[in-house]
Amino acid sequence: MNSKKEAYFTRHLLQWNERENERQMPWKGEKDPYKIWLSEIILQQTRVDQGLAYYNRFVKNYPTIKKLAAAPETAVFKLWEGLGYYSRCKNLIATAKFIANNLNGKFPDTYDDILKLKGIGPYTASAIASFAYNLPYAVVDGNVMRVLSRYFGISTAIDSTEGKNYFTALANKLIDKKVPALYNQAIMDHGATVCKPQLPLCTTCLLQKQCVAFKNDEVRQLPVKEGKLIKKNRWFYFIIAEYKGGFFIRKRTGKDIWQNLHEFILIENEKAIDPVTLMSSEAFKKIAGKKHTVISISKNYKQQLTHQTIHGCFIHIRVGQKPLLKDHELVEGSKLKQLAFPALINSYFATEGRALTVQNL
């Protein structure tokens, strides 16, 4: 690869950052590794405009890592509610406790030690190392790979192992070791505001003269992706079994979606089924018992996840006897709002299920 072209890239990227970059975020220029880590974990698989409010709430409620480590896990998950990918929250809690209990609340200050922390991969470790400690480790995410792919005309798939290794090596070669934090922020911001996935601002880009994709009219073709996600559909039928003013709730603990969130009794079906037909099944009869009253059957709800679409329906019944359920507990209606639920169930609460959390308070 041409060393002059590489030098041109780094020099002009930093010039753009100094002259034109107006992207504002509360964590820009932040040196506290705790807050940098918090922002990076929240922004994994989350849009900035959505994550910002969560970041501000976390900093307000837990201004230090020791405060976060000492907080009840239920409260932390409740604060995280709605962000999705709840394994991030689980890892956040585990890492906070490890640092508070094993490292006396002091965040590690080397890339290798940061990388050892639970829930932290190369990208997040590079971000913390460079932003907090000004260490020369390049961040490599979708924004960065898109900028590099277009500028250098690289057709290696960014979602392949070869591509990830190649772009990581190139990014670390290009980083300005004197100002790594400034460089990392510049390339991420450039990808987010100028070299955008759709409608990039090529005509005003300072890198335009040396950009291979612009010269060859290949901006729309780059970067290249190897494969597309195959999404599946799942049908969830939640049985809201009311018994003596309470509802049967369980926390999801398996390695499936919504880990550590709460839900009502669930019957999952391979395909869509009419709720009335479902209520004639043995699975439903086992829950409802011989004496039960159907209060309501909801409309269909939908939640789109990265790899799958969840279709949900809620059947509210009042039962005369306690169902034999191993992993469910009877929760008073007044306590439902204290628990963290997936977005699908919260959508139901906000519309048809409002009475469950209001009437029973």
Burial (CB < 10 A; 0-12, 13-18, 19+), residue 304, is exposed
* Distance in angstroms (rounded) separating the CA atoms of residues 157 and 160: 6
Calpha distance 127→71 (Å, rounded): 26
Among the options 6, 22, 30, 40, which is catalytic? 40
Query: H-type helices in the chain, by residue range?
Result: 3-19, 33-43, 48-61, 65-70, 73-80, 87-102, 111-115, 122-133, 142-152, 161-174, 180-193, 212-215, 275-278, 282-288, 343-350, 354-358
d(CA 203, CA 65): 44
Q: Decide if 188 contacts 17 (C-beta within 8 A).
A: no
CA-CA distance, 157 to 226, in Å (whole number)? Answer: 5
Look-up: residue for tokens 């400690």?
133
Instruction: Find all residues with CB under 8 Å of 254, minimum gap 6, and list them.
Output: none
Query: From CA 116, how far away is CA 174, in angstroms rounded?
Result: 25
Q: Which residues pair with 315 in a beta bridge?
A: 239, 297
Contacts of 13 (CB under 8 A, 6+ apart): 183, 186, 187, 190, 206, 207
* Catalytic annotation present for 162: no
Beta bridge mates, 314? 238
What is the Cα–Cα distance from 275 to 269, expressed in whole angstroms?
11
CA 71 from centre of chain: 21
User: What is the rounded CA–CA span in Å between residue 84 and residue 89?
Assistant: 9
Closest CA to 136 of 189, 190, 187, 181: 181
Catalytic residues, by residue number, are 40
